[in-house]
Amino acid sequence: MTDATRWDLLGCYRESGIATPHLDRLAASGTRFERGYTAQPVCAPARSALFTGTWPHSNGTWSNNLAPGLDVPTLGQRLRDRSVAAAYIGKWHLDGTDYFGNGRCPDGWDPAYWYDMRSYLEELSPEDRRASRDPATVEHPGVAAGFTYAHRCTQRALDFLAEHEGDDFLLVVSYDEPHDPGITPPEFAARYRDFVFPDDDNVRDDLAGKPAHQRVWAGPGLAEDRSAYRRRDVRYFAAQEFVDQQIGRVLDAVDERAPGALVVYTSDHGDMLGSHRLHAKGPAMYDEIARVPLLARLPGVTAPGSVAPHPVSHLDVAPTVLTHLGLDVPDLLPGTPLQPVLADPSVRVNDAVFVEFGRYEVDHDGFGGFQPMRGVFDGTYKLVVNLLSDDELYELTSDPGELHNLIDVPAHAGRRDALHDRLLRWMNETRDPFRGGYWERRPWRADAREATWAHDGLTRQRPDDPGYEPRLLDYVTGLEMTETVRAKEPAPGASGTPVPGSGTAASRPGG
């Protein structure tokens, strides 16, 4: 995986002029998922979904600088406990510290191959550390590939593949590139000195009718004359080509050492790159940052050059890995294995996919602060509920640039409200700790229920995770629960009347 690669940076998705021959080769030999979505378009929350198989709001990593809870096993732990080798090489960003990590191998992953960004920095002199973070370093003629984090991660990956040839294993190679500062050998930057990324209409979006917090995010750019706007970012584009080269080295080794392996490529999120007058990533669910490249190859199963058109999620990756290795997928994991799609790309496994947002980063006061958002996309319509701002609805078939907010357009109210019901149901199903009546009672939802203290009146305990958590106990009886979702009843001797059960609640919005 890479960090901050927009879906359309890859040539197999869009002919932009950026060279990605090795990822394009992977797509040509397997399946390209046309509509892959991250769980949250920020580094740590996105990674928490990939490597625990649970939602950021469920595992506790709803912002950068937060770590998954102690009761949330990673894929590494699940595989290690079943005698499958698991190695994680590269950016982790899930230990709750800073951007670089703490240099300590988490439980479940092979410590002999662990190599987070702190591990890399600790190999460097103070001067080289500064150079590794200085964008101007790409101008220095002495920078060799071996100096870069990407190259050193690749070397470890090649060593792991050589050692584990013939074994069952999971190998994660997590590059920081093309995320800034985008350090590459100078010849890569030289190739993009005059490069301009293709134009899109939404770079001129005036954000009229869009959420207020997006206009704040755009800042001075909101008043900028964009008639001659050009998208240039030498380091970002160069780093994408450079990391593609490094991925090519890994793919060559896989072909030699493990030719039958399931190979998956993705990115944690994208980059706005000036679309909607916004930069980087943050509290929005536009395709520029929420839609991710997702490629998979399984020899003998995936048809070369096939395209899967229906929406899939990063939440589907962990169940896919477990299923491929012949392991059970616990009820705790909400995603869907993608094996049916690998065999037949026309198969649809999700009626909708979801994206969330909580906060960009705990350490920083900026980036909009706390921005609770929940979104749902059914393949045509995308609904985004911005709890502290204004809501959005887009019809992507006719408006792929997401320029026209349809949230208050009567002709789309039926589809909007049905998606809203689906979103509320998902929040309940996943035990979203931020759920409540305020997500239902939106200005445009005429049939929303009156606010009540009990709301749906249900208890929603955590699903089973055999081998990691005992079956949870019923608060009222002290016995093992029989249903994870049930009517909330008073404890013995307590006053009050039990709330009606889930049968009636299920027919109401969000029940």
Q: Rounded to 10 degrees, what is the CA torsion of 180, 181, 183, 188?
A: 60
Q: Answer yes or no: 153 catalytic.
A: no
Q: How far apart are CA 16 and CA 9, in angstroms?
A: 7
Q: Which residues of 147-169 are buried (b: 16+ CB within 10 A; e: fewer)?
A: bbbbbbbbebbbebbeebeeebb
In sequence order, what are the beta bridge partners of 392?
A: 384
Which residues have a Cβ under 8 Å from the Cβ of 252 and sit 6 or more positions away?
none
Q: Which of the residues 12, 22, 43, 269 is marked catalytic?
A: 43
Which residues have a Cβ under 8 Å from the Cβ of 278 and sit 6 or more positions away?
214, 217, 218, 221, 272, 284, 286
ω into residue 178 within 30 of 0, thus cis?
yes
Q: Which of the residues 93, 310, 420, 455 is marked catalytic?
A: 93
Could you tell me how many residues make up the chain? 511
DSSP per-residue string spanning 375-406 = EEE-SSEEEEEETTS--EEEETTT-TT-----
Q: Answer yes or no: 43 catalytic.
A: yes
Radius of gyration (C-alpha) of the chain in whole angstroms: 23
Q: How far apart are CA 39 and CA 174, in angstroms?
A: 17
Q: How far apart are CA 311 and CA 94, in angstroms?
A: 26
Residues 176/90, Cβ–Cβ less than 8 Å:
yes
Q: Which residues of 42-70 are buried (b: 16+ CB within 10 A; e: fewer)?
A: bbbbbbbbbbbbbbbbbbbbbbbbbbbee
Catalytic residues: 43, 93
